[in-house]
Amino acid sequence: MTSIFSRIIRGEMPAERLFETEHELAFLDRHPKAPGHTLVVPKLEVAAFDALPPERAASLAATLQTVARGVTRAMGTGHYNLVLNNGERAGQVVFHVHFHIIPRYEGDPFLERGSSRSLPEVAAGIRAALRALPQSERVPGRVPED
């Protein structure tokens, strides 16, 4: 069965897309735990991280670094959680590998869901920060237009 993330990758479902490489896509979580909560997914649909071919896992890690830099700069915090739920008992709900980048703020209740800022507003800020990253701090990829 095709995951919701594969449908987003193919453009069949809307998402606030932030960054895209040949092998990965980053977009805002529709149910953010904090402003700027971002998902980074491989375009290859596999359920478990250890099922990714090693070269795709390495590519995903490099893209995670780039996107985390953009997210944290846009959101004004150098603090974030990087979360992977691998398997049902670990809390995985969508069985397509995905990492969460969850910015953290002073006084922020750990993992409390919610944000008062709109997804398009947050996405525009993150896309601007990603465009501003020096080439030395990012992998080759495309930032969609606002």
Torsion angle of alpha carbons 100, 106, 128, 40, nearest 10°?
Answer: 0
d(Cα 57, Cα 15) in Å, to the nearest integer? 23
Report yes or no on 121 lying in a domain. yes
Report yes or no on 31 lying in a domain. yes
Please pick, among 23, 37, 96, 98, the residue that the annotation labels catalytic.
Answer: 98
140 against 24, higher pLDDT? 24
Determine the pLDDT at residue 108. 75
How many folded domains does the chain comprise? Answer: 1
pTM: 0.82
The answer to whether residue 140 scores a pLDDT higher than 60 is yes
Question: Is 98 part of the annotated catalytic residue set?
Answer: yes
CATH of the domain at 97: 3.30.428.10
* 46-101 pLDDT, tens digit each: 999 999 999 999 999 999 999 999 999 999 999 999 999 999 999 999 999 999 99
Report yes or no on 145 lying in a domain. no
The partner residues of 40 in beta bridges, in order of sequence, read 26, 99
Determine the pLDDT at residue 118. 83
* 2-47 pLDDT, tens digit each: 999 999 999 999 999 999 999 999 999 999 999 999 999 999 999 9
d(Cα 17, Cα 36) in Å, to the nearest integer? 12
Give the HSE-up count for residue 97: Cα atoms under 13 Å, Cβ half-sphere: 20
> Given the structure tokens 């490099």, which residue do they identify?
62
- Do 18 and 36 contact (CB within 8 A), yes or no? no
Across 36-64, b (16+ Cβ under 10 Å) vs e yields bbbbbbbbbeeeebeebeeebeebbebbb
Measured in whole angstroms, the distance separating CA 73 from the mean position of its chain's CA atoms is: 14
Determine the pLDDT at residue 115. 59
What's the domain range around 57? 4-133
Beta-sheet strand order (sheet of 38-42): 17-20, 24-28, 38-42, 99-103, 80-84
Report yes or no on 138 lying in a domain. no
pLDDT band at 119 (very low <50, low <70, confident <90, very high): confident
> Average pLDDT of 101-130?
80
Report yes or no on 144 lying in a domain. no
